């Protein structure tokens, strides 16, 4: 029975396909859905329907076909056979022309010697020799031209075949492949009636991942989420009801159970010959995505409807969506979150004398966002890309918005001493740094300044007399200090940090920053 795809639900690593069709019941108690992907999960097949009949059985069968079961794929394969036969015929013609060229070339070489001898002996007329020579030359030139034309045609035919092979490969079609059919057994009560059946099944080779556009304008933050759909299932998805679900159907669902936690003494492991070991490794390439801005006025995106389930979220785009087999990164807009940010600057001049604008955003929506790559924009400027971690409702997120040159930062060494005590033999080093932060922008700015004092990992090295001005708002056990400065436009403030390091006699210090 004819049952085109009516709906597709894409999961993070697979998809559920729904087909619907009608068929008269006067053809017998058996209806067959043919040409289905061979990789479908038989355990996921479900058939429902309406009409004057009962479903008594459903069988999933995989068969070998000499040609693809799908009509479109079979047409492509048949076209390839025809094009290959044409190419073979042209290759034969080229071989014949090559033999003609070789024959004429050989004949011209042999006749050249014979004509030279005949002319010397006076047994041949020069006009006759010229006539034969012109005839050979004309035939050879014609054969070379024909061979050249055939070579160009062969190149074009091979390019067409390569393009056709790519189309066949993209649709998962080969000259011989297995396909799957679902056979539905019915108990018919009215043979003159009609049945409407719905078939659903799960296939691998399909996935979707989230992507985001994050736009910061002042304290307003807009997060637009979209789904990137990829599918290599071997069948094209026409325009249909497409849904993207965060659910993860498992091959087997088992409630986790604990195993006993045993403690034992360490037993020596007997030596094993080195030849008994082996290994292999691999890497996963990571690709990157970029977004670019348009100068045209912004259009409001058409958003998908959101269904909040118990453990998953399903997005349903507002219009039918078609995704051909072989598509990678097909984009559809899902949702838009309008949030509020708290803006501030952060600088760590010991690393770089630059101030970075930072937006702190709380997810005040009801949607939990999956991890995904995000393109970040500040006003109309593209800042760069980042990776959003899982972002649940109520959670806080920090976004880096790039360097602001209007906040000038400078870290200067204002005092350094190195001395040796006369009694204990200890070496002493002292250092004092001054950080100046200036606001050259038109608005007040809150700047978080980060710096650090050294931390000793040896008893013979002691860090003493750590002094700061002003007092930091945060201090960590690893010697990190945090100041928060509020600067009016045109205002500059300073932060100082000093410390002393005592090193025992005979100990060489490492890690000291000159």
Sequential DSSP letters for 426-479: -EEEEEEEEEEEEE-SSS-EEEEEEEE-----STTEEEEEEEEES--SEE-TTS
The angle formed by the CA atoms of residues 268, 274 and 280, to the nearest 5 degrees, is: 110
Q: What is the pLDDT of residue 270?
A: 60
Please state the rounded mean pLDDT for residues 456-462.
85
* pLDDT at residue number 173: 43
130-165 tens-digit pLDDT: 777 778 788 888 888 888 899 899 999 989 888 888
Residues 343 and 86: their CA atoms lie apart, in Å, by 68
Cis peptide before 470 (omega within 30 of 0): yes
Q: What angle do CA 80, 84, 88 make, to 5 degrees?
A: 175
pLDDT at 21: 92
Scanning the structure block, which residue is given the tokens 């069948």?
235
Average pLDDT of the chain is 81
3-state DSSP assignment of residue 283? coil
pLDDT digits (tens, 9 = 90+) for 225-250: 888 898 888 788 989 899 998 877 65
Q: Has residue 484 got a pLDDT over 60?
A: yes
- With beta carbons less than 8 A apart as the criterion, state whether 70 and 173 touch: yes
Q: Are 244 and 227 in contact (CB under 8 A)?
A: yes
The full DSSP string for 282-331 is: -------------SSPPPPPPPPEEEE-SS-EEEE-SS-EEE-TTEEEEE
pTM of the predicted structure, to 2 decimals: 0.56
pLDDT at 410 over 90: yes
pLDDT for the residue 286: 40
């Amino acid at each position: 029975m004819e049952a085109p795809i009516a709906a597709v639900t894409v999961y993070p690593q697979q998809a559920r396909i729904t087909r619907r069709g009608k068929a008269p019941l006067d053809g017998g108690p058996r209806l067959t859905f043919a040409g289905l992907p061979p990789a479908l999960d038989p355990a996921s097949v479900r058939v429902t329907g309406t009409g004057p009949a009962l479903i008594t059985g459903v069988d999933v069968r995989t068969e070998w076909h000499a040609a693809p079961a799908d009509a479109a794929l079979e047409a492509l394969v048949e076209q390839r056979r025809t094009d290959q036969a044409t190419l073979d015929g042209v290759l034969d013609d080229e071989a014949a022309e090559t033999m003609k060229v070789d024959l004429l070339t050989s004949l011209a070489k042999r006749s050249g010697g014979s004509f030279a001898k005949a002319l010397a002996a006076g047994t041949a007329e020069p006009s006759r020799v010229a006539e034969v020579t012109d005839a050979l030359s004309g035939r050879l030139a014609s054969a070379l031209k024909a061979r050249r034309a055939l070579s160009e045609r062969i190149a074009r035919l091979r390019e067409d075949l390569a393009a056709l092979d790519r189309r066949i490969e993209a649709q998962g079609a080969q000259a011989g492949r297995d396909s799957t059919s679902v056979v539905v057994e019915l108990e018919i009560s009215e043979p003159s009636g009609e049945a409407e059946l719905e078939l659903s099944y799960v296939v691998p080779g399909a996935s979707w991942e989230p992507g985001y556009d994050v736009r910061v304008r002042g304290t307003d933050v807009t997060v637009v989420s979209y789904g990137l759909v990829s599918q290599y299932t071997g069948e094209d998805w026409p325009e249909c009801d497409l849904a993207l679900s965060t659910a993860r159907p498992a091959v087997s669902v088992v409630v986790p159970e604990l195993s006993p936690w045993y403690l034992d003494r360490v037993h020596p492991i007997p030596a094993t010959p080195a030849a008994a070991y082996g290994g292999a490794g691999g890497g996963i390439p990571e690709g990157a995505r970029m977004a670019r801005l348009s100068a045209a006025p912004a259009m409001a995106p058409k958003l998908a409807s959101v269904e909040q389930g118990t453990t998953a979220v399903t997005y349903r785009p507002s219009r039918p969506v078609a995704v051909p087999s072989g598509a990678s990164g097909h984009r559809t807009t899902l949702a838009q979150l309008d949030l509020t940010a708290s803006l501030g600057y952060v600088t760590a001049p010991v690393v770089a004398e630059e101030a970075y604008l930072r937006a702190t955003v709380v997810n005040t929506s009801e949607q939990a966002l999956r991890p995904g790559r995000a393109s970040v924009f500040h006003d109309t400027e593209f800042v760069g890309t980042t990776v959003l971690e899982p972002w649940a409702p109520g959670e806080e997120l920090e976004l880096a918005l790039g360097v602001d040159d209007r906040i000038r930062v400078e870290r200067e060494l204002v005092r350094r001493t190195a001395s040796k005590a006369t009694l204990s033999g200890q070496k002493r080093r002292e250092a004092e740094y001054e950080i100046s932060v200036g606001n050259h922008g038109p608005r007040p700015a809150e700047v978080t300044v980060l710096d650090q004092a050294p931390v000793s990992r040896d008893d013979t090295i002691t860090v003493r007399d750590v002094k700061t001005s002003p007092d930091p708002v945060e201090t960590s056990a690893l010697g990190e200090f945090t100041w928060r400065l509020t600067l009016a436009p045109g205002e500059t403030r300073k932060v100082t940090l000093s410390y002393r390091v005592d090193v025992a006699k005979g100990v060489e210090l490492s890690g000291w920053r000159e």
